[in-house]
């Protein structure tokens, strides 16, 4: 089994357990369910930096990145730095996050929040809404076209935006549909974990203009962003570069200042 297949197999078990503890009807009673959406797509269209800063404790490829930080401090720091949005990894087994991280981030900042997880079931979308997300991530490699359509349509009904992640043209063509808001090109090869910005460059012309383009993984310098902006990218998902420091907020602030010079 590939790492993605292992994650999905574990995710199916996790979701079944969660459904038995907190049913969807209970999630719908969350006070955050009535909260108006804070649009990440709109923020990206108005920004010069386009930074989506991530909270990530660890990953399968890098083991521990930073497990000592308080997510409330990270969220406040990112907001002060002037990022466009915050990505919160909520997968526990492989990334060390949890759904409570989303709630804590929501209580600490007004940024658009992206729930980053391996979303395969409508339950996770209700959960994202109940815990304060504005955007959900759907991963084309993990879903069929029908599943992407069903999940994105459900997210739209709950007034959430959708960032669809692709790795190649085949995934992009399979997944393009009107119910999406943003297309994220992951520069990391899921089989080798190698990173190459050429993935974003090569796919840029294949993404229709009505979707905001986001480049993900391996963006560690302002030069990388300046290289990708002419290809139409408005958003840049950065996690490890900020999270490996003692103060991700200050790191993001310095990065944005350098970018604007």
**Are 39 and 72 in contact, with CB atoms under 8 Å apart?**
no
The residue from 79, 127, 161, 165 that is catalytic is: 165
The residue from 41, 54, 66, 108 that is catalytic is: 54
* 116 has catalytic annotation: yes
Q: Is 163 helix (H, G, I), strand (E, B) or coil?
A: strand
* 56 has catalytic annotation: yes
Sole residue written with tokens 């991700």: 248
Angle at 64 between CA 61 and CA 69, to 5 degrees: 135
* 202 has catalytic annotation: no
Angle at 74 between CA 63 and CA 151, to 5 degrees: 70
CA-CA-CA-CA torsion for 86, 102, 36, 212, nearest 10 degrees? 30
**Bridge partners (DSSP) listed for residue 182:** 163, 212
- Phi first, then psi: give them for residue 247, nearest 5 degrees: -135, 90
DSSP 77-141: HHHHHT-SEEEEE--STTTS--HHHHHHHHTT--S-EEEES---SHHHHHHHHHTT-SEEEEEGG
**Are 87 and 57 in contact, with CB atoms under 8 Å apart?**
no
* 146 has catalytic annotation: no
* 165 has catalytic annotation: yes
* 209 has catalytic annotation: no
Catalytic residues: 54, 56, 116, 165, 186, 216-217
């Amino acid at each position: 089994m590939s790492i993605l297949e292992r994650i999905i197999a574990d995710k199916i078990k996790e979701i079944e357990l969660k459904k038995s503890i907190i049913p969807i009807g209970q999630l719908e009673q969350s006070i955050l369910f009535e909260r108006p959406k804070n649009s990440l797509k709109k923020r990206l269209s108005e920004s010069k930096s386009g930074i989506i800063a991530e909270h990530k404790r660890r990953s399968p490829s890098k083991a521990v990145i930073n497990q000592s930080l308080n997510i409330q401090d990270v969220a406040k720091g990112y907001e002060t730095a002037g990022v466009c949005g915050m990505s919160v990894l909520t997968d526990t087994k492989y990334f060390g996050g949890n759904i409570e991280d989303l709630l804590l981030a929501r209580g600490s900042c007004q940024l658009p929040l992206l729930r980053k997880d391996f979303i395969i079931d409508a339950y996770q979308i209700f959960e994202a809404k109940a815990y304060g997300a504005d955007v959900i991530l759907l991963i084309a490699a993990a879903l069929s076209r029908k599943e992407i359509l069903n999940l994105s349509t459900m997210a739209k009904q709950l007034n959430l935006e959708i960032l669809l992640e692709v790795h190649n043209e085949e995934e992009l063509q399979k997944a393009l549909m009107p119910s999406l808001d943003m297309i994220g090109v992951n520069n990391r090869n899921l089989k080798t974990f190698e990173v190459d910005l050429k993935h974003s460059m090569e796919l840029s012309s294949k993404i229709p203009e009505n979707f905001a383009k986001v480049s993900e993984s391996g963006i560690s310098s302002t030069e990388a962003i300046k290289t990708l902006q002419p290809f139409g990218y408005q958003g840049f998902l950065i996690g490890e570069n900020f999270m490996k420091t003692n103060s991700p907020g200050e790191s993001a602030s310095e990065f944005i200042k350098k970018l604007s010079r």
